[in-house]
Amino acid sequence: MAPSSVSAAHVKAVRGFNRFYTQRIGVLDPYLGSDFSLTEVRVLYELAHRDQPTASELGRDLSLDPGYLSRILRRFEHKGWLERVPSPADARQSLLRLTRSGREAFEPLQQRSRDEASALLQPLPPGQRERVIAAMQTVQRLLAPDEARTRTVQLRDPRPGDLGWVVMQHGEIYAREYGYSDEFEALVAEVASGYLKNFDPHWEKGWIAELDGERVGSVFVVRKSATVAQLRLLILSPHARGLGLGGRLVDECIAFARAKGYRKMVLWTNGQLDAARAIYSSRGFTLEESEPLEAYGKKLVSESWSLDLR
């Protein structure tokens, strides 16, 4: 539709909504009470939730001038928040990733953003909250470019049938990619069964990741003790990798555990799961203990990791 065919009343309505909403979410104030601009926080967000993007990818997806983005990235590097590694696919490009100190700087901003979003919806009764969210989703869906409409990511609570899917995904993926026997699938089934039977909604939570309406990932927080939370059953389908979803699932676990007052988060993995181990390490988890393990038809290295949440 040509711009001239849009009525003056519609233009006025859009501009009025823009003024209202930018004021309501505090965009005109120092963003999230920090020294950063909205754009800088958005770049930090993308770095925290993507799997080692390039600068050109960030600039394209955020519609940022390359020179402006370059200045932001140099500032983050100067603070020790960002590191670059050569791209194995293109020597002219560097992959970007936040350092541990970068994530420590970003996490309070992310939590503040969550708190402000919660405060925005808190005064509304449940029915009105649903109407607001549905309206936002409608605006986003209708105004998004055609190519962006098919990549919808959602993290939701588990529903009946989801834990069975989680068990199936672990069994299929680990057999195909690592040659694990069905002994591993049996272990995952026991963990899933225990979660369902003993679930405590106040202290425990699970997430199912959907991409374009299809289940592609999961993660769960279970209560190990009064002060220790355990991260379990992190899985991501192969076609959903590279979008930062694995890191996002782990971030949700950490945020939940901190909000509940846990002092520590622990997890078990093995030494061959490089992608998962990179996510854990970048979030501040440290390897506490490792030992040889013969299981699932393989010779492995069992690893215990932990994160201080205080």
112-166 pLDDT per residue, tens: 888 888 888 999 998 898 888 888 878 877 887 655 554 568 889 999 999 999 9
Q: In the prediction, which pLDDT does 181 show?
A: 95
- At residue 299, the pLDDT reads 93
84, pLDDT greater than 70: yes
Minimum mean pLDDT among 34-38, 128-132, 175-179, 196-200: which range?
Answer: 34-38
Q: Could you tell me if 291 and 160 lie in one domain?
A: yes
Same domain, 78 and 170: no
How far, CA to CA in Å, does 294 sit from each of 135, 188, 254, 301?
53, 17, 30, 8
What's residue 255's pLDDT? 92
Based on the fold, state whether residues 216 and 79 are members of the same structural domain.
no
Q: What is the pLDDT of residue 28?
A: 61
Determine the pLDDT at residue 89.
Answer: 59
Judgement on whether residues 206 and 295 belong to the same structural domain of the protein: yes
pLDDT of residue 30: 64
CATH number of the domain to which 270 belongs: 3.40.630.30
Q: What percent of the chain has pLDDT over 70?
A: 92
pLDDT above 90 coverage of the chain, percent: 48
Residues 197 and 252 in one domain: yes
- Find the mean pLDDT for residues 276-301: 93
Which pLDDT value is given to residue 251? 92
Question: Is the model's pTM score more than 0.85?
Answer: no
Please check whether residues 161 and 129 belong to one and the same domain: no
CATH of the domain at 40: 1.10.10.10
- Domain-ending residue, one of 101, 117, 148: 148
| Domain containing residue 281 | 153-308
What average pLDDT does the segment 221-242 reach? 94
Locus of tokens 């699938």: 185
- Of residues 106 and 151, the one with the higher pLDDT is 106
Residues 11 and 69 in one domain: yes
Give the pLDDT of residue 114.
85
Same domain, 274 and 304: yes
Closest CA to 268 of 304, 214, 223, 216: 304
Number of structural domains (the chain) is 2
172 and 29 co-located in one domain: no
Q: What is the mean pLDDT of residues 183-201?
A: 96
Of 113, 148, 183, at which residue does a domain stop? Answer: 148
Residue 68: alpha-carbon gap to chain centroid: 26
Residue ending a domain, among 131, 148, 165, is 148
Q: What is the mean pLDDT of the chain?
A: 88
143 plus 225 within the same structural domain: no
In this structure, the answer to whether residues 304 and 161 fall within a common structural domain is yes
Query: Model confidence over 199-228: pLDDT tens digits?
Result: 999 999 999 999 877 899 999 999 999 999
- Mean pLDDT over residues 98-105, rounded? 88
Average pLDDT over residues 251-275: 94
**How confident is residue 27, by pLDDT bands cut at 50, 70 and 90?**
low
Q: Are residues 101 and 29 part of one domain? A: yes
Band of pLDDT at residue 2, cut at 50, 70 and 90:
very low
**CA 219, CA 267: separation in Å to the nearest integer?**
11
